[in-house]
Amino acid sequence: MASLLALICTLAVVSYYPGATAKNCCVPKQWEGFQGGFGGVEAGGGQEVQIVTKIAFDAIGRRVYAFTNSTTAAGPSSTKLIQDYKTNTMYVIDVLKRRCYKMKPSQPFNDGCVPDAAKQVFDMTLGLGNEALETKIYEMRLQQASTRLNISITVTEKGCVPVGEY
């Protein structure tokens, strides 16, 4: 259960909402970042999940890499996900069990645009004075496999650079 939950959350993070267009904004063509998350799942009586993910996004090469460490009541899991859309191949590597699965990506590639369905809920300033960073926050729902996720996306006002997601 822990590995499946981590995989679903990782796919949601790195898929960047297939079918999105540029009505809102699109992230840079290449970027890397870290994301942490905390949530819950109702399945099996309910449980918490904590996730830390390193993401490398490359719209030019049409590939995404994510390395996720997660913890649930069932224990820790560590998953590497490599999506190569040029070859239509996805690798899911369960680091702790030392298993690798090869399959087709579950979602079509998206250039990283904030989807039209995402609603801008407010603007926020991070920092102060010359160090201020102006951001926009969007909210949306995403159905990933049998899991429904409520997601908030924060991007910079200029350049649409990802700042956070939860």
Domains of the chain: 2-165 (2.50.20)
Query: Two tokens at 77?
Result: 């899991």
Using the predicted structure, report yes or no on whether residue 35 has a pLDDT greater than 60.
yes
Residue 48 pLDDT level (bands cut at 50, 70, 90): confident
10 close to 16: Cβ distance less than 8 angstroms: no
Using the predicted structure, report yes or no on whether residue 128 has a pLDDT greater than 60.
yes
Residue 2 pLDDT level (bands cut at 50, 70, 90): very low
Q: Identify the residue whose tokens are 């990782």.
A: 10
Q: Identify the residue whose tokens are 């369960």.
A: 94
DSSP at 110: -
How far apart, in whole angstroms, are the C-alpha atoms of residue 81 and residue 89? 11
User: What's the pLDDT at 112?
Assistant: 84
Using the predicted structure, report yes or no on whether residue 19 has a pLDDT greater than 90.
no
CA dihedral sign, ordered 45, 46, 52, 57:
positive
Q: How far is CA 7 from the centre of its chain?
A: 11
Using the predicted structure, report yes or no on whether residue 147 has a pLDDT greater than 90.
no
Give the model confidence (pLDDT) of 73-86 as tens digits: 778 999 999 999 99
Cα 104 to Cα 67, 80, 86, 100, 139: the distances in Å are 18, 15, 11, 13, 28
